[in-house]
Every structure is written in structure tokens, then in C-alpha cells.
Structure 1
Amino acid sequence: MNPSLDREHLARCAPKLAQLSQQVLFDDIWKRPELSPRDRSLLTLGVLAALGHTQQIPWHLQFAQQNGLHEEEIIEAFTHLAFYAGWPAAVSALGCVEEEKRECR
């Protein structure tokens, strides 16, 4: 798996994209009151997994846990996703959870 670009790397490599991500996505969209940060994290992980964007999942796993999601809930979401987005998408996403656990040991 290719490493994802964290905020610092993105800022060095594509400063304008980093600025827009921060201002529009994280300072506006993520703070809208209609959905909680927890719900937004669950939705984001599901979409990333469904679209096969596993490179972005590790960062969002950590962010989701900061937003109150527990590992068991994330695993259940990816299991549920298998029936709507396909087995490969779900298994690839679950692989990110396992990889994240190994890195934290």
C-alpha cells in the first residue's frame, strides 16, 4: 500500500490543495452542525472503502477514533459495506484496520 499524504506532506507538495482542504473541508464542511464529526467520519470511511481509496483510510481511521468511533464500530461498518460496495472493498478496508493496529503496537 502506498503511504497517504498527511497534512504536512500535502502542504509541502501541494500548498494550495492543503490550504483549500483545511479551509473548505475541515474548517467548514466538517464543522457543519447537521452531522456530528463521528457521523462524518463513519460516512467518510464508508465512501473511501467503497471507492477503493484505501490509501486515505489510515489517516481517517485515526481521525474517526478521535471523533468517537470505536474499532468495533468501524469493523462493523466495513462488514456491512461488503453487501453494498462488494467484498473486495470491505476486505481491503479491513486490511487497513489491521495494518493500523500493527503500527500502534
Structure 2
Amino acid sequence: MSGAKTGDRYSLGMATRRTVLGDAHVDRAEAAKTEFEQPFQELITEAAWGHVWSRPNWTKRERSMVTIALLAALGHDEELAMHIRATANTGATRDDIREALLHVAIYAGVPAANHAIKIAGKVYEEMDTKGEK
């Protein structure tokens, strides 16, 4: 893990998580977590956000597109919707997401892509209604 202390990795992860998902989302998630969930939340903050999402090799836009394609392919609808909303912070455009979902259709299957496109459409409609990016 490139030598960062766990506390440092957690702090970096929390900062990256807030940058990608937004303060309001992270604040709600932190307020709702239970004692039982605490170790898992620490794990994903350090590993997913502090290590993978914080690496300099790809932009947040690129990571966003790959994450959305993977979530769509695996059928993780709730996480997919969350990451589509996060594109307002990552710079991934609706055209980027459309292209990622076309890849899902070819490499993971048309039903997975079809379902993900419906989720994306609903999320974008909600964002438009609320005047979000």
C-alpha cells in the first residue's frame, strides 16, 4: 500500500470519498452507520477510496466510467445509481456513461446494459428535476 499509515490512508480515503460522492452523501452514510458496520466502512474508506480511487494513474472521470460499467455488469443497482449521481463530481459526462454502458452490452450482456440504461435514465431525470449537474 505504498507505505501510508492506516490513519493516513483513511484520511485520504475520506477526502477522496467526499470529493467523488459529495459531503451530503458521506455525511448521511456516516450518520447512519452502526457499530457492526464500522470495520467494513473503515475497510472501504481505506482500500477503495484511500488506495484505488486516490491513485494518480487514472482521473476520477476514468475511474467513474469503469466503476459504472462494472457495477452495471454485476447488477449492483443501488451502487450504480449512486455512482451515476457522482458523475456530477467526477467529470464523467452522460455521453461517457452511454459509451461505458454500450461496452457493458457487448462484454457483459444486453440485459445488464438495458437495465443499467434504465437506471441511468431515471437518475438523470431526478438530477434534471432537482437542477443538479
Question: What TM-score range do you get, normalising by the shorter chain?
Answer: 0.7 to 0.9
- Look up the match of 1:3: none
Which consecutive unaligned segments of at least 5 residues does structure 1 have? 1-5
Query: What does 1:1-105 correspond to in 2, within 5 Å?
Result: 7=26, 8-9=28-29, 12-13=33-34, 14-104=37-127, 105=129
CA contact (8 A) 2:66 2:100 kept: no
CA-based RMSD of the aligned residues comes to: 1.8
Bigger Rg, structure 1 or 2: 2
Aligned residues: 100
Q: TM-score, with normalisation over the residues of structure 1? A: 0.82
Which consecutive unaligned segments of at least 5 residues does structure 2 have? 1-24
CA distance in 2: counterparts of 1:80 and 1:57, whole angstroms: 15
Percent identity of paired positions between Structure 1 and Structure 2:
30
CA distance in 2: counterparts of 1:68 and 1:79, whole angstroms: 19
